[in-house]
Copies of this chain bind each other. A is one copy, B any other.
Amino acid sequence: MKHLVPLIAALALATPAFAQEEAASVTPTSIVAGAPADGWRAIAPEDLLVMDLAPAADGSARRVVIQLIPPPFSQPWVKNIRTLARAHFWDGTSVNRVQDNYVTQWGDVTEAKPLPEGVVSPVADYTVQWCSYHVCPALPPVGNLGRRLTSEHGWNSFVEGWPIGELEGRSGTWPIHCYGAVGVGRNVAPDTGTGAELYTIIGQPQRHMDRNLAVVGRVIEGMAHLSALPRGSGELGFYTEEEADLRVPIVSVRLGSDLADAPRFEYLDTASESFARYVAVRANRNDAFYTVPAGGVDVCSVQVPVRRAG
């Protein structure tokens, strides 16, 4: 019966008192708007990847801003990505694959462009030994987040602003693929990819990608420039040679710390009381429009609030 203990614990967490106390006028949006200033955390400029695509047909700019994931997650790839950005590796490459309900992927379509020195596919694990969910202080008791991710009753939560998965006593903690997550394309395992080929999730996230591909960041602005592109008709959604004109040129990719006029962002602290309320209300929408509270929420439906700073 040992394996039932986490389930019992989860049930105890599932109905936080404040979930019942919110007024009907309280929505996820109103909670974020009312969060105190000290509940927000600045995103460091070196954790921003600013990708400028060629302008749209109507001449409008297309900028995509990606937040890179902080330690302890995926750092071998994040290091590569900083090296690639500083070497201007992606300038002149393109978006090459758009598969509906799956991913948009970009990089060097020729697969022949030399990589900067030191950028190799790391021998690294997709998980880190971060904590065990029942002792880790960073996992907030936000209620209703637990979801039986695996047959070994893994759980989801948030650590340092990121959605994570964890499997008790087995393989540690890992960042998970949600809509807008940025990951590292690769060939057949045990290759782990370098980070030169990146994708983002544009549909239902697939749990089977977690721990098999490295999550290195998430799109925090300009997502529609990647999600609303024409789908490729080739295998896996790659643009065929006949569709070569659909490949959106990438003008430049720079680290925020290397741009004079880099935009500044901040995210809602996932250990804050505001975030806990935000999650609970997301799980229990109960206002004029939504009259039947779901009583639960998928971790990927809880987008961590990110906004422009300053």
Binding site for B on A (CB under 8 A): 3-4, 7-8, 10-11, 14-15, 98, 100-101, 126, 143-144, 146-154, 171, 178-180, 188-190, 202-208, 210-212, 223-224, 227-231, 282-283, 285, 288-298, 300-301
CB contacts (< 8 Å) of A289 on chain B: these are 188-189, 212
Contacts of A291 in B (CB 8 A): 189-190, 212
Of all chain B residues, which has the CB nearest A14?
B151
Least CB separation from A171: chain B residue: B292
The A interface, classified by DSSP as helix, strand, loop or mixed, is: loop
User: Closest B-chain residue to A165, C-beta based?
Assistant: B294
Residue in A143, A151, A212, A291 whose Cβ sees the most chain B Cβ within 10 Å: A151
- Least distance between A133 CB and chain B CB atoms (Å): 15
Q: Which residues of B contact A208 (CB under 8 A)?
A: 282-283, 285, 290, 293-294, 297, 301
Instruction: Find A204's partner among B146, B205, B228 (CB 8 Å cutoff).
Output: B205
Beyond contacts A204-B300, A208-B297: 19 other A-B pairs, Cβ-Cβ < 8 A, are: A7-B7, A14-B151, A100-B228, A143-B151, A147-B147, A149-B295, A151-B296, A189-B291, A202-B203, A205-B298, A207-B301, A208-B282, A208-B283, A208-B285, A208-B293, A212-B289, A212-B290, A212-B291, A228-B228
Chain B residues within an 8 Å CB radius of A282: 208
- CB contact under 8 A between A227 and B100, given known A148-B147, A204-B179, A290-B208: yes
CB pair A207 B144 closer than 8 Å: no
Chain B residues lying within 8 Å of A301, measured Cβ to Cβ, are 204-208
Residue from B101, B204, B230 within 8 A of A298 (CB atoms): B204
Q: Closest CB of chain B to A5's CB: distance in Å?
A: 11
- In the bound complex, residues from chain B placing their C-beta under 8 Å from that of A229 are 228
Q: Is the CB of A211 within 8 A of B297?
A: no
Q: Which residue from B144, B146, B179, B293 sits with its C-beta under 8 Å from A203?
A: B179
Report the Cα distance A301→B179, complex, angstroms: 13
* Distance from A171 Cβ to chain B, minimum over Cβ atoms (Å): 8
Tell me the minimal C-beta distance from A67 to chain B in angstroms: 16
Bound form: Cα–Cα A282–B227 in Å = 24
A224 touches B228 (CB 8 A): no
> Contact: A149 with B189, CB < 8 Å?
no
Closest-CB distance, A135 to chain B (whole angstroms): 21
Minimal beta-carbon separation of A302 from chain B (angstroms): 10
Q: Is the beta-carbon distance between A296 and B227 smaller than 8 angstroms?
A: no
A294 touches B150 (CB 8 A): yes
CB distance from A219 to the nearest CB of B (A): 10
Q: Which residues from chain B contact A202 at a C-beta distance below 8 Å?
A: 203
Contact B151 A210 (CB under 8 A): no
Q: Which residue from B148, B285, B290 sits with its C-beta under 8 Å from A146?
A: B148
> If A100-B228, A204-B178 touch, does A188 touch B288 (CB 8 Å cutoff)?
yes
